[in-house]
Amino acid sequence: MQDRTHAQGVSDDARAFDENQLARRWDISHRTLQQWRRMGIGPVYLKLGNRVSYRREDVEAYERQALRRGTGERAFA
């Protein structure tokens, strides 16, 4: 079975995601990411001109802090 990341055109060595790539990775709408940016939530991002990018290291850090063991606690402190 092909890795989901590879199937979506993002290689393991990709240093950043654009908003469409990250939306596919998380199976959410790119508009959700846009809304999160306006609200100041979600992973940190880089904006150069009109282009928005999310560094892989920041996305992975955000995913780690979102881990939960149960509904009331984080998996890792």
Residue with tokens 């809304």: 35
Amino acid at 16: A
Give pLDDT tens digits for 13-26. 679 999 999 999 99
37's tokens:
């940016």
* pTM as predicted: 0.74
Give pLDDT tens digits for 36-66. 999 999 999 999 999 999 999 999 999 999 9
Taking residue 58's Cβ as centre, other Cβ atoms within 10 Å add up to: 17
Contact yes or no for 23/45 (Cβ under 8 A): no
The domains found in the chain, sorted by start residue, are 14-74 (1.10.1660)
